[in-house]
Amino acid sequence: MRVSMKGGSLGGGFTEQGGRIMTVQASSSRSATKSIGAAFVNLVITLVICIAILLAFLIAPLVALGLAYLAYVVWRPRSGKKSSAPAAPGEPRQPGAASHGFGAGAS
CA distance linking residue 44 with residue 98, whole number of Å:
67
Q: What is the per-residue pLDDT for 26?
A: 74
The reported pLDDT for the residue numbered 50 is: 94
- Output the pLDDT for position 1: 52
Q: What is the DSSP string of 39-106?
A: HHHHHHHHHHHHHHHHHHHHHHHHHHHHHHHHHHHHHSPPTTSPP-PPPPTTSPPPTTPPP-STTGGG
Instruction: List Cβ neighbours of 21 (8 Å cut-off, separation of 6 or more).
Output: 5, 6, 7, 13, 14, 15
Q: Indicate the range of 34-38, 64-68, 70-74, 83-87 predicted with least confidence.
A: 83-87
* pLDDT value at residue 53: 93
4-57 pLDDT tens trace: 555 555 555 556 666 677 777 776 666 667 899 999 999 999 999 999 999 899
pTM: 0.34
The whole-number pLDDT of residue 33 equals 78
What average pLDDT score do residues 69-88 get? 75
Contacts of 99 (CB under 8 A, 6+ apart): 105, 107
At residue 71, the pLDDT reads: 94
Q: What angle do CA 91, 97, 101 make, to 5 degrees?
A: 90
